[in-house]
């Protein structure tokens, strides 16, 4: 049985991808609202960063923030597809959920998507992977490096990383909550942290 709050969240995320307009985004939008989940989204234990996430979402104006907050108890935080590629210090500053993917609750062989939260005043070091990736900032913000471009990104910003583009993000005092999507070659073994003078 589906939850109205979770169905609303998926519909809201689908709308975001339809607005993005890339071919992979449109496929993602359709899959979110038409592909049945392998299992029902059931109540979860709160993750370690739950209180900070809820505070950030409660103050956010993006339409998705309210939908995430309403479904927060059902979101499977801690289902990071690259958790085994991360250091303990990197894992401690963020929480990740996977909602769609080859092994995800919503099956998709060539897409991965989920939500990403990074705590305030933290740096997620330079890294890359084979997949094309798009982030959409939903709450908070960060100084975002994507290749040679470094600038502040905030709610409503779309950031696209083509395959193997190095990227990193540094949060300020409010933290960051974003939607992420991988398309193309969505393998996890290519995920790698890179030499980073800013780390």
pLDDT tens readout for residues 94-110: 999 999 999 989 999 99
The residue-averaged pLDDT of 14-30 equals 94
Q: What pLDDT is recorded for position 1?
A: 46
pLDDT tier at 60, thresholds 50, 70, 90: very high
Topology of the domain comprising 4-193: Jelly Rolls (2.60.120)
Compute the half-sphere exposure of residue 183: CA atoms within 13 Å on the CB side of its CA. Answer: 16
Domain coordinates of the chain in residue numbers? 4-193
If one compares 41 and 48, the residue with the highest pLDDT of the two is 48
C-alpha closest to that of 74 among 138, 10, 30: 10
The residue-averaged pLDDT of 144-162 equals 97
136-149 tens-digit pLDDT: 999 999 999 999 99
């Amino acid at each position: 049985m589906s939850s109205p709050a979770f169905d609303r969240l998926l519909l809201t995320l689908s709308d975001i991808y339809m607005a993005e307009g890339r071919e992979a985004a449109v496929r993602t939008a359709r899959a979110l609202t038409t592909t049945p989940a392998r299992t029902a989204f059931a109540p979860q234990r709160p993750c370690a960063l739950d209180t900070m996430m809820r505070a950030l979402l409660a103050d956010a104006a993006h339409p998705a923030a309210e939908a995430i907050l309403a479904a927060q108890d059902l979101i499977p935080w801690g289902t990071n597809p690259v958790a085994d590629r991360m250091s303990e210090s990197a894992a401690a500053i963020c929480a990740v959920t996977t909602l769609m993917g080859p092994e995800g609750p919503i099956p998709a062989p060539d897409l991965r998507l989920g939500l990403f939260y990074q705590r305030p005043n933290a740096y997620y070091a330079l890294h890359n992977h084979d997949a094309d990736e798009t982030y959409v900032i939903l709450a908070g913000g960060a100084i975002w490096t994507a290749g040679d471009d470094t600038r502040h990104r905030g709610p409503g910003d779309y950031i696209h990383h083509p395959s193997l583009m190095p990227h990193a993000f540094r949060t300020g005092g409010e933290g960051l909550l974003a939607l992420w999507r991988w398309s193309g070659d969505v393998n996890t073994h290519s995920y790698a942290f890179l030499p980073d003078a800013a780390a």
